[in-house]
Amino acid sequence: MSIPTVLVLPFPFQGHVNPMTTLSQKLVEHGCKVVFVNTDFNHKRVLSSMVEQQDHSLDESLMKLVSISDGLGPDDDRSNIGKLCDAMISTMPSTLEKLIEDIHLKGDNRISFIVADLNMGWALNVGCKLGIKGALFWPASAAVFGMLYNVPRLIDDGIINSDGSILTSNKTIRLSPNMPEMETTNFFWLNMADTINSTHFLNYLVHHCTPALNLTEWWLCNTAYELEPLMLTLAPKLLPIGPLLRSYDNTNPTLRSLGQFWEEDLSCMSWLDQQPHRSVTYVAFGSHTYFDQNQFNELALGLDLTNKPFLWVVRQDNKMAYPNEFQGHKGKIVGWAPQQMVLSHPAIACFISHCGWNSSTECLSNGVPFLCWPYFGDQPYNRKYICDELNVGLGLNSDENGLVSRGEIKKILDQLLSDGSIRSRSLKLKEKVTSSTTDCGQSLENFNKFVKWLKE
Ligand code: UDP
């Protein structure tokens, strides 16, 4: 068997880089070499937040971090997803091709395979041109994959327009007769920042990314049969290999934090050690959620009102002024947490979450109940799945001004913590979900099958 060198290409968002970093680490553990390609912009952030220590540096002969431009200027707004996608598709295919040719010219290990994020599906066309095979990786849920995959059918059936806007007057649809109903307002492309962004993003995906599904038999997904059995039956080609969780080898901090865009504040771990068992509310909204001052105030005062310990992630890029009345003496605030470690800490009682798919699978894998507070993209659908299908969380509702009030936070949190059935369902689901990636679990078997194929 030869040692394959796999080029891994994530979409340039934290929620895509993280699971693909974990996937890369697993490929290395199983005897592959990886060339991990970030955009220049993210590459700099990843390097500067790495807790690299001399005796624990990254073994570059096994995993090399490289970068190419995303086509935007240094000061352009990368949260404008439409603009980002336009820039990427007009520049990245040729720069990726050049990168691979340069690697080959230098006489480094030849790239033998490409694993591209489905949101970067066009990379498989580059691979085809150079005679390199590829696989596609979907970092979100199988259900959301189902929405995207069925876009042409939804257009043909008159459910949506070709720009993704809703045409049908029905509020819900079923992707297949035995699937739960989906609210049409939960189609992920409708929940972007604005309609221009939604249309651009959907066009980019449908025209430049999903056609690549025809170029490979390997459609990998960061989910598990135990989490989404119905959806995976509907999409039998989608191979669940998740949840992809980092292996917490505390002796190697470089690997533990690899791929993070912000440096993890580890001081929260010793703070958690001092808190009683199942007492702490963990509050984090991923990498893209932005609060305005009013909502920030309600959240801060709501956390005070709960009168319980909390660990709150307030990213530097969305730091607001704390309201004057805010005491916060029961809490700990950090700029970025080692989230997977936090969620597995015995002091954690529940997670106030935006329901990004990574945060969701990390929470489900630790048996922690959710307080769902979704913002955009696939998050509203994930909230519904968590609360109504898996029954392991409760949702927070906004008031007539569109705000989640401090009173609502306290009320629903108290309700969640006093509901023993949610906790016990969460723990049962944890057992099922984690069994998938251990022993003879389905996700592990799928991953092993993929690696075996790579090596042949
Ligand atoms: N995350 C983290 N520390 C934090 C907040 C988030 O490590 O303080 C990680 C989290 O573990 C997850 C990722 O960032 O892997 C966020 O991905 P997700 O899909 O949940 O949300 P997104 O950022 O894409 O909205």
Question: DSSP string of 242-286?
Answer: --------TT-HHHHTTT-SS---THHHHHHHTSPTT-EEEEE-T
| Mean pLDDT to the nearest integer, 413-426 | 98
Residue 201 has pLDDT above 70, yes or no: yes
Whether 288 is in the pocket of ligand 1, judged by its Cβ within 6 Å, is yes
Q: Which residue has the higher pLDDT, 249 or 90?
A: 90
From ligand 1's centre to the CA of 260, what distance in Å?
9
Structural domains in the chain plus CATH codes: 5-247+436-455 (3.40.50.2000), 275-433 (3.40.50.2000)
Question: Cis link prior to 243 (omega < 30° from 0)?
Answer: yes
Whether 376 is in the pocket of ligand 1, judged by its Cβ within 6 Å, is no
Whether 358 is in the pocket of ligand 1, judged by its Cβ within 6 Å, is yes
From ligand 1's centre to the CA of 358, what distance in Å?
6
pLDDT digits (tens, 9 = 90+) for 35-79: 999 999 999 999 998 865 555 567 888 999 999 999 999 999 998
The band of 158, judged by pLDDT with boundaries at 50, 70 and 90, is very high
From ligand 1's centre to the CA of 261, what distance in Å?
10
Q: How many CB atoms lie within 10 A of CB 416?
A: 19
> Closest ligand 1 atom, CA of 340?
11
Residue nearest to atom 14 of ligand 1 (CA): 286
**Nearest CA to 298 among 376, 411, 191?**
411
> Closest ligand 1 atom, CA of 19?
15
From ligand 1's centre to the CA of 421, what distance in Å?
27
What's the order of all strands across the beta sheet hosting 238-240? 63-68, 33-39, 5-9, 113-117, 133-138, 219-221, 238-240
Question: What is d(CA 215, CA 166) in angstroms, rounded to the nearest whole number?
Answer: 30
Asked if residues 268 and 332 have their Cβ atoms less than 8 Å apart, the reply is yes
Task: For the full predicted model, state whether its pTM sits above 0.95.
Answer: yes
| Mean pLDDT to the nearest integer, 394-408 | 96
Whether 287 is in the pocket of ligand 1, judged by its Cβ within 6 Å, is yes
CA geometry: angle 408, 411, 412, nearest 5 deg: 85
The residue assigned the tokens 């079923």 is 174
| Model pLDDT, residue 55 | 54
- Angstrom CA distances, 173 to 202, 256, 331, 364, 374, stand at 19, 41, 43, 26, 21
From ligand 1's centre to the CA of 337, what distance in Å?
9
pLDDT digits (tens, 9 = 90+) for 275-304: 999 999 999 999 999 999 999 999 999 999
The band of 199, judged by pLDDT with boundaries at 50, 70 and 90, is confident
Whether 299 is in the pocket of ligand 1, judged by its Cβ within 6 Å, is no
> Closest ligand 1 atom, CA of 16?
24
Helix locations, 264-356, DSSP H: 267-273, 293-306, 339-343
Is the four-CA dihedral 327, 333, 335, 336 of positive or negative sign? Answer: negative
Question: What is d(CA 264, CA 254) in angstroms, rounded to the nearest whole number?
Answer: 11
Whether 361 is in the pocket of ligand 1, judged by its Cβ within 6 Å, is no
Q: Which residue has the higher pLDDT, 115 or 233?
A: 115
- φ/ψ of 7, rounded to 5, equals -90, 125
Asked if residues 156 and 149 have their Cβ atoms less than 8 Å apart, the reply is no
| Model pLDDT, residue 52 | 55
What's the order of all strands across the beta sheet hosting 348-353? 331-334, 310-313, 280-284, 348-353, 370-372, 393-395
Q: Which one of 339, 366, 372, 381 would you pick to mutate in the ligand 1 pocket, going by the greatest count of ligand atoms within 8 A of its CB?
A: 339
